[in-house]
Structure formats: C-alpha cells, structure tokens
Structure 1
C-alpha cells in the first residue's frame, strides 16, 4: 500500500500501457511478472524483492542491466541512495539503454556524500545528454557540498516528543496564531493489526495533531477522526490563516492500476471538522500537497500535468472560477526544473518555500526560498543552506509567522529513509563594543574618562571608564552609533560604528588613544616606508580620527613634525621628512581643516624617538627609555631589528601651538 509521502515525494505515475511496453522487454516474463506489476502500482518494496530474485536467475547481460535499473529505481524512490547506487552502476556497466541511469547514479552518489565519484558520473552522463541542466546542477551541488559555502546561523534540533517512533513523521503545519498547535503526517503503526506498506515497510500515512501544554512541552500526538483519516493515505496538511480550514492530500489506490492523489478542503466549526470536499482543480493523476497563501486567495500545489517543466512542478491557482479556483498556472522555470519541486509552503511576507532535488543543493531534497522581485517581474530562488539542509531529504517547512523559527521534516542521519520532525530557530544577533582608553603621551590607562554612546534606536547613555581604563557595552542590531570619550586635560575622541546589515555576531574592539592638550602628540600608525612619503591606508584612517578631533576642537592650531631615519644624509633626510609633513598637511586640508590651523616641518633624523613601555613590550630587543639615534640603531643586532627601529623613528608628531 503506498503512502502519501512516498507518492508525492517519490512516485511518478505512468500509464499502464507505457509500463507494459517498457517492462515487457525483459526476458523471462513469468519471472518478472510479479515484479513488474508491483512496480507498476507503486509497491516498490515488494517489487525490489521480486526484481532481486529475477536478477539472480537471469543470464542475459542486457536484461540483467534492465532489472538493475528498475531495482535502482525502487531503492531511489524509497530513499535508499546507497543501495540504488549499486544497481544504477550495474545498469550503466551492462550498457542498459536508459540514459538517465547515469544521471540517477550521480544523484545517488551525491546523496551518499561520494562527491568526486558523483562528478565523474554526471560528466559521463553529459557526454550523452550535454544539455541536461539536472546534471550540470548536480556537479554544482557536489562542489557546493565540498566547499560547504552556504551556511547560516540557524540552530536545528529533533523534536523527540513528536518523532519518537521508528516510522516517518513529516510535513508539519501550524494551526493557530499562537503557534502552539501543529498538524503533521505520520506513518506510525499504532494498531497492531494495521497493515504495513509494501513500499517502505511502514504504515500508511495519516494526519496527527499535537499541542504545547502548560509546561511548554508537546503533548502526545493524536490521530484525527475518520472524517479526515480514511482507509486511504492522507497527509501534507496546511491550515488557513484563521485556522478554520484545512487543505490536505488523499492518495487513493487499488491493486490493479497506478495511484491517484487528490486535494481536499475541510472546514472546522465549534472545534469539530466537517466532511472533506475534493478540490477539482486539474485533470491529472497527481494533484497534491496544497499550500494556501496567508490571505487565502492563492492555492499552490504539486502536479505533473502537461505544460510543466518536467517531473513534478509547483502550480498555482487563484480563488474564483469554476469549482472555486481559476485555471492552474505553472510557477515557471525559475522555480520549477526538469526534476521534482514539491512541498510548497507560504509565509506572511509573501515568500514561497519549497523542496527540490534538481536545483543546486546538498543531495536529495533541499529546502529553498523564493521571493518575487517586482523589478525583474520574476522569482529569485535561494538555498537555505546548512544546517536546515543536509545530505538527506529536507522538506515541508513551516514558520511561526514572521519569526525565523518553526518546524520542518528531514531524513538526515537515517539509513532506513525515516523522516523526523525538527525545530529550527535563528538566534538573535549579539553585538558589543569594548576597549581601553589610554594617554598617547605615556600610553598609560586613563581612569577618570567617561564615554557617551548615542544610537539611532534612541540609545543615549553615559558609561564610566573602569579603573584599568577599559569599557564595554551591548549594542542593538540594525543600529547606527556614535560614541565620544572625554577626560579632563585631553581632547575629545569621537567615533562612529554600525550594526546595520551585519548577519553575524560581532564584538567591536577599540584602543582609544586620547590626545593630551600639552607637549608633543604622537599619532599611532602614521608611519612611512623607507624613502617614501606616500600615506598608506592605516595612516589615512588615523588622520581621519585626527581631523574629527580638530573638527570638534576648532581652537587647536597644529604644527606637523615629520621624522626620517636611516634614509640618506642629514640634508636628504630633512627633505624627505618635509615631504612627509606636507603630505599629512595636504590630507588634513582635504578633510576640511583650514590652512591657518596647520603648518608642516621636517626635522630629518635629528630628534630620535625615546622607546615607551608599550613599544618595549612589543619589541623585545628594545628597553623602555632607549633613544633611537642612528648610532644606537647601528649597534642593534640583526638587520630586521635595525629596520624595525628605523620604522619606529619614521613618524609624525603633532605639536600644539599657542
């Protein structure tokens, strides 16, 4: 007996006459008769047993390849890629003429995480079918999995309270605006006498319901009554926004012909469900998995009706017309491929989610998000990445409204193709700032400073600096900030930062060097390469901070003093240092500082640097108080140490003029 999950996800219905033509080519018809019939009506588990028996007795290599192909199909359709791989490889080895054996071999190798072998299989298939986009996407999927280039911050955990059996649970959907009630499909066999599926060995599919109790725990799943769960298979339930209507799929079957899947709608009144009514929307054996939009005006569903892109496609219909719905419209080739697109679901923001085995992904079914681009007048499709998607089948996602949280189903980690329900959520982004305030004169912490933090979210707080000069604060997402540090005897320090557009947690770290209002002022990071007077990126960033300080303190008049070291004779060093001073002055003028407030002076190597405590900690060959004269530098051992000392000497100082 087929299941609704298997029918929608794996079974491609064929006409009986088509199967008779294809499968009658196998020699030994009596041996294959039972296998052919079981395969025809979708009983893949039973068909696999019969095909295996026929394979052992068969002598003709071509027929053995044909049997291997259909045995591979039985395993692929019941989500056993490792077993299917062996069979497709045999079919290819025996030169069985069905070209897609090579494609499916690549698909199963991909799902088995054998990416290099999968690429080889796809490339071999492309020599026969060079334009098949499924194979090209398969190669891209292997490279995606190898590089793991699409990841997200979602956290995923199995819902053990709901998926606590050895049978598949899948396709969840919320049933209330509080998101404390969920409907889902399950193949669990609670009744001892209940027949098991000849496809998977599991039970048939029924719809269950569970709630969150007062303790915040899920209750035991309850089987819906017989007005919804019939002798056939039901599943893939979706609710209207007000929770008063349920849309679901029913899969009818018999033992002589292909299955048919149909969509139904049932209304609830007074807490009780009424009698389901069939939604007659298309003339096809497969019309399944309805998903209603938030406004109730658009119905999405899955079908393989004519006019599609191949395999199973997602279609849509608008409310109105005969039977209550308009003529179905295919969702187009941005969403649909030559493979299978299934399990659509919608969100309040108008985005559409679905699963596909032919878009670029990690193998099997992956979940994708489709957003309509008004400018392009078409959809844009994005893979949700890991950990939502895995090497197994991932499908049937349901969100808690606009929250980045919800439930989906996945076969990850299961060797027997059992689906389970998983909760997912996107943790809130966390941002912070921290740093230390110190004097640029002696590089010691400043303890009597304070910090004012102002944000576009309304933040306006004063933070005291700790005794060791450090500070810290939490920041909000999507917010622009400016903070100012002030201390008596020092010029104010101002800086901007932003969390707008950041997709990952971040800690902003700062070293706030306060400029004293006396003596020489040395700016960190304003250094030059040997024999050069061009400003580098670090120098420009430091000068940007200086320009901001000068903008806040318009009474300051600065003398820019540049130093050289180890760069020619005394006169050559003076000329070079003068060019450096002028380069700094020109840059500050470009930032709006007037000429009257600036002057430039080059002193060559006549005023060597005296090593500070911080510099001595950084450069082990120096001691605090060392004077980096040219004579002293020549006495330093090692050319790299000598050049490091020269680099320290090549600096810019800013002296405040009265």
Structure 2
C-alpha cells in the first residue's frame, strides 16, 4: 500500500521528542544518570523477557513503552509490543496484533503526535520499509507505506519526526541505500538527503531527534566508543544550524552493543536496548534519567 495524498501524514504536524545527549549537554538539563535495567523500576510488570527485546520508545501522550520483541505470542518473527505506563514503571507488554503487526518482521515503532505510529515492516519489502498508521479509539487504522524515495530497495530503520523552526515536519531515519547505514532527513516527506555532519564511513544508524529538533541520539560503531555499537549524541542551537560533532554518552554505553536510544516527551528519560551481561535474553531495555536545571532530581511522574 502506498500513500495517496500523504493520507495519515497530513493529519497532524509535530512528533514525539525522541533522543537527547549527555556529553554535549543541551541547555536546562543535567547529565544522565547511570543506566539501569527497565525491570528495576518499581511497579514494573515484565518489559523484558528471555527473548530479544529492543527498539524501545515512549509514547508522547501516555509514556507507554513501545518495543520490538521476539517473545512468544506474536504474529511471527519480530513484533511490536506495548507496555502501559502505570505511574512508576511499565506493566507487562501486550501485542496490538494486526494491522500493526504481520507475519513478517515489524519493528522500530515510533509513536508520534496526532495519534500516529510510524514503524518499519518487511510485509512488502524484504529489507523493510517505513509505514505510518493512525491510532483510533477502537484500535488502529490501516497502515500506509511512506513514499518511494523515503523508502527504497535497501534497509530503512528507525523513523523519527519533529517540527522544525519553520513549521515543516521533518523525518529522520537511517538507510543502507549508499552501502552501510547512514542517517537521512526528509522535509515534508520529500526527497531525503544524507546528513553529512552525522555520517561516517562506519555504521550510523537509528537516529532519534528531540521534539524541538535541537538534539539527536543514534547508535554507531565508529571509533571512540566502548565496543560494539554505542549511543552518541549531538546538539545544535536551531533547526537551521548544522549538528555539532557527535560524542558518545558515557553513562549509557558499555563494551556490549547499545542501540536505538529514545527519550520521553519531557526529555528527562532515555530508553535504549543493550546486550550487556546480566540481561534476561539477547537484549534488554535499559533506562537513564536526568533532571531539568534548577528543578532537583528526576521524579518519574506523568
């Protein structure tokens, strides 16, 4: 299915704020805390499992945790699951079923403003394409594939949307269309372009941009990290400015692989996937927090 007249994309502008830095601190935020396993939040159900759990991201309205998981009970392979926020942690995830999930692999969920859910699926393209679906009071609508140009015959990963200073909706994602994973941007769903200040000859993947477009996190295996893929960050003073030189986030990285960092709507919680020792399965969800300046320690309230 392809988008006709941009369909769901025209329902709302703006998107979830996802992705924040540590080493290059943005204004009004403290440094990140040391990351902990998501299971260690009080009141939690079972956000992690003996299966692979990753691609975490938080709903901008509810703080529900969206993940991709191979746990039993899905429609096939990798599915998207939703863990409701209960005020102090997340309840056990549930599978929303079709049409969000399919018999193919479905992953990289990105809930956004306008009750939209962007995600990646291999239901039509073996390497995965980006889709968007509207969340309705009674469930989900019909998924629509983003236009050709954004999608390609290569791998597309981790859509992230925000509104820039000029009122445009900007989509960031990564793709292997030029060989390895590189980060791309598309303004109002037009032809995408690579982001040279973020890309290297190494893998630069799964970007997530803050709601104001001034901070980004992504995972990369470039030199300077602790091992495997690490989470790096960059900031900029406006959406019309270039990104600063990216730096690794020391508090969340480990010698194991970390991937797909994403931030809560208020910018004080960072979730990501990691395969470090002690996880329940191949990978688990981890969490770091930070406080806004002059507001004291972070209190998990939504």
TM tier relative to shorter chain: 0.5 to 0.7
Aligned runs of 1:438-453 on 2, under 5 Å?
Answer: none
Contact 1:282 1:328 in 2 (8 A): no
Residues 382 and 285 (structure 1), Cα distance of their counterparts in 2 relative to 1, 3 Å cut: same
Question: What secondary structure, in the 3-state scheme, does the structure 2 residue paired with 1:418 have?
Answer: coil
Q: Could you state the TM-score of these two structures normalised by the residue count of structure 1?
A: 0.29
Higher Cα Rg: structure 1 or 2?
1
Q: Could you state the TM-score of these two structures normalised by the residue count of structure 2?
A: 0.60
Aligned counterpart in structure 2 of residue 301 of structure 1, from 90, 109, 119: 119
Match of 1:385 in 2: 196
Aligned runs of 1:176-325 on 2, under 5 Å?
Answer: 216-225=30-39, 227-242=46-61, 244-252=63-71, 260-280=77-97, 281-295=100-114, 297-306=115-124, 308=125, 311-320=127-136, 324-325=139-140
Residues 282 and 423 (structure 1), Cα distance of their counterparts in 2 relative to 1, 3 Å cut: closer
Offset of 1:332 from its aligned partner? 2.3
Distance 1:220 1:288 in 2: 27
Contact 1:292 1:346 in 2 (8 A): no
Offset of 1:417 from its aligned partner? 7.6
Residues 503 and 279 (structure 1), Cα distance of their counterparts in 2 relative to 1, 3 Å cut: closer
Gap runs ≥5 in structure 1: 1-171, 182-211, 254-258, 373-377, 430-500, 505-658
Offset of 1:267 from its aligned partner? 1.7
Question: What secondary structure, in the 3-state scheme, does the structure 2 residue paired with 1:231 have?
Answer: coil
Match of 2:223 in 1: 413
Offset of 1:338 from its aligned partner? 0.9
Match of 1:425 in 2: 235
Q: CA RMSD of the aligned region, Å?
A: 3.4
Richer in helix (by share): 1
Richer in strand (by share): 2
Aligned counterpart in structure 1 of residue 183 of structure 2, from 362, 367, 375: 367
Gap runs ≥5 in structure 2: 1-16, 40-44, 244-302
Higher relative contact order (CA 8 A, sep 6+): 2
1:154-181 superposed Cα distances (whole Å, 9 cap, x missing partner)? xxxxxxxxxxxxxxxxxx945xxxx699
Offset of 1:237 from its aligned partner? 1.0
Aligned runs of 1:332-351 on 2, under 5 Å?
Answer: 332-349=147-164, 350-351=169-170
Offset of 1:424 from its aligned partner? 0.3
Distance 1:383 1:313 in 2: 17
Match of 1:326 in 2: 141
Offset of 1:427 from its aligned partner? 5.3
1:343-373 superposed Cα distances (whole Å, 9 cap, x missing partner)? 1122245322111001x4xx4101111222x
Work out the number of aligned pairs and report it.
Answer: 209
Contact 1:294 1:348 in 2 (8 A): no
Residues 316 and 292 (structure 1), Cα distance of their counterparts in 2 relative to 1, 3 Å cut: same
Question: What secondary structure, in the 3-state scheme, does the structure 1 residue paired with 2:79 have?
Answer: strand
